[in-house]
Chains A and B, each alone.
Chain A
């Protein structure tokens, strides 16, 4: 395999891992805007261990998962009880904070970051994906996965069924952070050089876009989103700086035509989504006109 093809496959694999990890949190209906921070935590934790303590990468990855999970649990515990808006704000600020923290920390090179990490192989990346996929298949068939879905659907109904919502959501958030941390560790050992700014809002947004583009209904939808969004820049290389604009347009079109993402069924049935929505809005308008006055 050419080094170029290998690099592409590594990149795609890591992004799939990011998307799958994010999907775990999203399956409870909670959107984080700072998941790049867990990636950073995993990346730095693993890099410290491999560079400064000469640990083997697979072991460092496991530690990265645990450290990221703990961070996820702490943030989740603080933010998941609040409304979605506060969750978005707190996770975003957390992301900024982590970036800033690593930039100030001399031990990890401050703003210049760390350099010299190697060891990410296709085997390592794709066996990580395999483990996560097995976990997700079992999860979505289990009562725990059902509880995640219940929380996403209706929290009030979930409390009436006796679900301890915060506890369940925090668990999901921690698992999500763990997978994201592993992806971060793998990314660091592929890039060979990491700086805090790699894990800024742009990366956080990318992770969200993988899921939203692919569709959040099934986990493999998120994986498809990650693959498409990782390969598109390669296809559209000739666009140079214009590709962000093309991306933006693509997303706008997609959100109109398929608001549920590439994968997944529509919430309503019959006709195309856009057509249906136009029709429905029309129907509502007619209904309003018919309403008796007074």
Chain B
């Protein structure tokens, strides 16, 4: 596999909601091992694009490919085992379950989960997964809250837990929907570091984000959307300095 292979490809995707074009003929190619930012003003179609990639919204036209395989018609559940995993803008945790259980559920597609999982003595595979979940709690600084219910965690830790749960699926591509939203300055710094770390491990990341500072610091490539169309794309230093972005955001 060449380091710059296209891992995720969106081709000519169009989506209308009651006549309004949320996405109009969007093309987007995410290179393996890079962090790809999607920015744009409110209503530009960023989240719709993420929903199309993850399978929550079916496009009216166009294709989505993951590592060359057409996944346009796959449900979200079936994209997870292929390595496409997402987080949500409004965190969606299993609030009544413990922090550890949330991470264990992230491993769902990698574990034995049918009636056979009732067997009381864990298989070596299951033991390895449990150990991995504990390690993930350490890594995401959630170990002290291991047995707390997820709903009891403060906001920042909930965001961290959601990412830990997503990573537990061992994604090839991680789709993040506004990971910096609502974070404190410290939280943003930690997020930037975390994303650098994950990228260093070879993970491919698509991040929809409002915070230009975060985008500038973590992205290798940025796509700017406005009114459902691609306005411009390229390296963040070039794109974010360009007139198109200012025009899109300020409207003049």
Query: Which of A's residues lie within 8 Å of B, judged by CB?
Result: 135, 138-139, 141-144, 146-147, 149-150, 153-154, 156-165, 171, 267
Contact = CB atoms under 8 A, between A and B. Distances in A.
B92 A143 contact: no
A149 B97 contact: yes
A23 to B, nearest CB: 16
Contacts of A159: 56, 75-77
Residue among B78, B94, B95, B112 with most chain A CB within 10 A: B94
19 contacts: A138-B119, A142-B118, A143-B111, A144-B117, A146-B97, A146-B105, A147-B105, A150-B94, A154-B92, A157-B92, A157-B93, A159-B56, A160-B80, A160-B86, A161-B108, A162-B109, A162-B169, A163-B77, A164-B78
Closest 7 CB pairs between A and B?
A162-B80, A162-B109, A157-B92, A153-B94, A143-B117, A138-B118, A142-B117
Residue among B113, B126, B166 with most chain A CB within 10 A: B113
- In which size bucket is the chain B interface? 35 or more
B85 interface: yes
Contact of A141 (B77, B94, B111, B120): B120
A160 B120 contact: no
B130 to A, nearest CB: 10
Contact of A160 (B85, B95, B97): B85
A51 to B, nearest CB: 33
Contacts of A154: 92-95
Contacts of A139: 118
B233 interface: no
Contacts of A147: 105, 108, 113
Nearest to A156: B92
Interface of B: 54, 56, 75-78, 80-81, 85-88, 92-97, 101, 104-106, 108-109, 111-115, 117-120, 126, 165-166, 169
Contacts of B78: 162, 164
Contacts of B117: 142-144
Contacts of A161: 80, 105-106, 108-109, 165, 169
A176 B170 CA distance: 33
B118 A162 contact: no
A135 B94 CA distance: 24
B78 to A, nearest CB: 8
A139 B116 CA distance: 10
Contacts of B165: 161
A165 to B, nearest CB: 7
B101 A160 contact: no
Contact of B77 (A138, A144, A162): A162
Nearest to A159: B76
B93 A146 contact: no
A68 B159 CA distance: 43
Residue among B85, B101, B108, B166 with most chain A CB within 10 A: B108
Nearest to B151: A267
A165 B113 CA distance: 12
B97 to A, nearest CB: 6
